[in-house]
Amino acid sequence: MNNKLQELQKMALEKLAEAKNAAELNELKVQYLGKKGQLTQMARNISEIAAEERPKFGQAINQVKASIEESLNQHLKEMEEKMLAAQLKKESIDITLPGRNVDLGTVHPLTMVINEVKDIFLGMGYSVEEGPQIETEYYNFEALNLPKEHPARDMQDSFYVTDSTLLRSQTSPVQVRTMEKMVPQVPVKIICPGTVYRRDDDATHSPMFHQIEGLVIDKNIRMSDLKGTLLTFVRQMFGEDREIRLRPSYFPFTEPSAEVDISCFACGGKGCRLCKDTGWIEVLGSGMVHPRVLEMSGYDPEEVTGFAFGIGVERIAMLKYGIGDIRLFFENDLRFLSQF
């Protein structure tokens, strides 16, 4: 009987050592230690043994059982460790590899300029207004003192949508919309950034471009307020040692009107290619709000006065970043855009 037991133990241990996976180990466990397993069967036959041999036989069975269990557990543990090691190896990350590049977008240069201008004027207590891009003739022209057949309408050859609506040719209509909303309150102190459209297309003109309108209405607003405001703006935008120059000009909605030049930031005013040897660069149009415009929007020009200005965003961006062709802003060429 003991021989048979030894034989069984030997077989069992050999088979356990050969098992290739946990399932096979489990099968062997059932085969030897299960309810109908070989060792269990032998234990059942203890009654066939002489009574005095039984304790020894029982002991021997227990020993074999223990050794099979121990081997089984040992192999299970080894297998688990192997599997874990294999899995870790498969899933391991080489943290010394260079990272994969994610292409991040950048802020468009025109948006950068608009944000910068907004920041400067918000700092001076202005708020930001917006208006529709499809505008009526009334707001785009008439309310800005440009009646039908007025020759100045030709200054802004525009895209009509219907007989009386058009893609706005300037952000100035937002002046009127804001005044109508605010009247009779003062002060009005707003800027309005936005897209505008004109029939124009060359290296410095695009059929779609951007302006930032400014409007201030209050009691006793004077030309010197306009000049001081623009000087503050220009110095923050183009450098603390910039000077400005107001040149008499004409806009139907301002009287008097002025075009504003800044001292050239490339040469400091000595004359260079950027300022075409004049020492000055034109950056915006401005003026004192025409009494007719105030009146049409409901304000009393005897009570309040105001100034307004219009900044060309593309022009500022071209000057600031030295860009020679306006069309680059709208071609979406990453080689251009990724430089900002």
Cβ closest to ligand DAH, residue 251 vs residue 265: 251
* C-alpha–C-alpha distance, residues 284 and 124, integer Å: 18
Task: Kindly report whether the peptide bond that precedes residue 256 is cis, defined as omega within 30 degrees of 0.
Answer: yes
Residue 196 CB, nearest distance to ligand DAH (Å)?
Answer: 7
Measured CA to CA in angstroms, residue 135 lies from 62, 140, 147 at distances of 98, 6, 15
Residue 98 CB, nearest distance to ligand DAH (Å)?
Answer: 50
Residues 6+ apart with CB under 8 A from 46: 54, 57, 58, 61
Residue 241 CB, nearest distance to ligand DAH (Å)?
Answer: 26
Assigned token pair, 10: 């030997």
Residue 172 CB, nearest distance to ligand DAH (Å)?
Answer: 4
Cβ closest to ligand DAH, residue 9 vs residue 211: 211
Q: Is 208 helix (H, G, I), strand (E, B) or coil?
A: strand
Residue 210 CB, nearest distance to ligand DAH (Å)?
Answer: 11
* C-alpha–C-alpha distance, residues 64 and 177, integer Å: 99
Q: Is 269 helix (H, G, I), strand (E, B) or coil?
A: coil
Residue 195 CB, nearest distance to ligand DAH (Å)?
Answer: 13
User: Quick one: CA dihedral 250, 255, 256, 259, positive or negative?
Assistant: negative
Cβ closest to ligand DAH, residue 71 vs residue 171: 171
- Give residue 97's identity as a one-letter amino acid code: L
Q: Is 266 helix (H, G, I), strand (E, B) or coil?
A: coil
* C-alpha–C-alpha distance, residues 269 and 272, integer Å: 8
Cβ closest to ligand DAH, residue 160 vs residue 340: 160
Cβ closest to ligand DAH, residue 37 vs residue 312: 312
Residue 103 CB, nearest distance to ligand DAH (Å)?
Answer: 37
Cβ closest to ligand DAH, residue 222 vs residue 270: 222
CA 9, chain centre distance (Å): 71
* C-alpha–C-alpha distance, residues 64 and 59, integer Å: 9
Residue 213 CB, nearest distance to ligand DAH (Å)?
Answer: 5
Residue 200 CB, nearest distance to ligand DAH (Å)?
Answer: 11
Measured CA to CA in angstroms, residue 126 lies from 64, 71, 209 at distances of 93, 84, 23
Binding site for ligand DAH (CB under 6 A): 170, 172, 213, 251, 254, 285-287, 308-310
Cβ closest to ligand DAH, residue 193 vs residue 287: 287
Cβ closest to ligand DAH, residue 131 vs residue 287: 287
Q: What is the distance between the terminal CA atoms of the chain, rounded to a whole angstrom?
A: 90
- Cβ neighbourhood burial of 324 (10 Å; 0-12, 13-18, 19+): exposed
Cβ closest to ligand DAH, residue 251 vs residue 280: 251
Q: Is 95 helix (H, G, I), strand (E, B) or coil?
A: coil
Q: Shortest Cβ contact with ligand DAH: which residue?
A: 310
